[in-house]
Amino acid sequence: MQAKKGVLVTGGAGYIGSHVVKQLGEMGERIVVLDNLSTGFREAVLYGDLIEGDTGDTELVRHVLREYQVEAILHFAAHTIVPESVADPLKYYGNNTCKTRNLLQCAAEAGVRHFIFSSTAAVYGIPDGPFCTEAAQPSPINPYGSSKLMSEWMLRDLSAASDLKHVILRYFNVAGSDPDGRIGQSTRNATLLIKVAAEVAVGKRDRLFVFGTDYPTRDGTGVRDYIHVTDLADAHVRALDYLRAGGASTVLNCGYGHGYSVREVIDAVHRVLGRPIAVEERPRRPGDPPQLVAAVDRLHATFQWTPRFDDLDFIVRTSLDWERKLMAHPWGGVTG
C-alpha cells in the first residue's frame, strides 16, 4: 500500500502550531513537524514525527518533503515579538522572511500543492476604521508586520507562477490553551497580555504592566480581538480541507470580530481568579496600534466556520488552568 501523503508543520512544537498538530493528529493525518526548538518544546508535539531542524536548512527541508511525500505545508515557524522586532529588525527579516523564501523554494521544487501561512494582523498597521478588512491596504508599522507581509507577497507571486495554492491566515490576538489540558502556551518571557496576566495570577511574575493608557479608545487602553487558540487551530484544519477541495488562494482574517480593552481583559482575570492582580501602568510601547479588530465575514463565508470558544472568561480560564498545571508539573524547557 502506498504511504499516505504527509503534512509538514513548521514550528509545530510552538504554541499555535502544537494545537494545530493535535487537531490534525486526531483526524489521522500523517504529520511531520520541523522545529528548531528555539522557542518550541518537544513534549508539545502530540502526534507525528518531530524533526529538530530549521526551515533555513535547504537540504534538510528537501529531504523532509521527499521522505514524507509532503502535499501540504502549514508554516508557523517565526519570531513574533513586536518590541524585539523594533530593536532587532534584521533578526526578523532573516528568520521570518528569508527562511520562508527558502521553504517556498523547496516547496516549489518538490511540487507541493497546498500552503497555509501563519500571518498576522500586524500587516495592517493602524487601521483607518474600527475593523481591519482583508481588502485594506497593508501598512505595517513594525518590522514584525513587515517581515510577515513580505512573506505574503512571495507566496502570492509563487502561487501566480505555479500550481501552488495557498491560504494566508492573518491572526489577531491568540490566547487560551487546549481545554483538554494536554498542551498550552508556555512561552518563556511571554508578551501576550492574557498569558502574562495568568503568570501574575499564579505568582510567576510580580505584576502586570499596562503599556499605554492614553490611546483614543473607550478607556484609554489598547483594544484587541482575542481568539481562542483551539478555534484558530480549527480554522487551519478547515483551510487544509478547503485547499484539498480545490479552493482558490485567499487571505483571511482570524478573529472574533469584536475587541476587548486591556482593562476589560484585566477585569476578566479578576472575575475568573476571584481576586485582583497587581497592575502597573507604563507609557506606550513603540509599534503598538491603538486598536486591532478583525472583520471576519470572509472567514465565516469561506469555511462555514463558527467559533466554539468566543467567551473572554473561558479564554482566561483555560490560560489560568494551564499556568497552574505548569506550576505543578513544569515542562523541562522552553515552549512556544
Catalytic residue annotation: 144
Chain position carrying cell 522552553: 334
Q: How far apart are CA 130 and CA 224, in angstroms?
A: 11
Angle ∠(146,148,154) on CA atoms, nearest 5: 105
Bridge partners of residue 50, in order along the sequence: 33
Q: Of all helices (H) and strands (E), which one includes residue 8? A: strand 6-10
Q: Which amino acid is at 92?
A: Y
Q: CA distances (Å), 7 to each of 15, 229, 267, in order?
A: 18, 20, 40
Q: How far apart are CA 18 and CA 24, in angstroms?
A: 10
Query: Distance from first CA to last CA of the chain, Å, rounded?
Result: 37
Alpha-helix runs per DSSP H in the chain: 15-26, 58-67, 82-87, 89-92, 99-110, 143-161, 193-201, 229-244, 262-273, 297-303, 312-328
Residues ≥6 apart with Cβ < 8 Å to 210: 221, 262, 263, 266, 279, 280, 281, 282
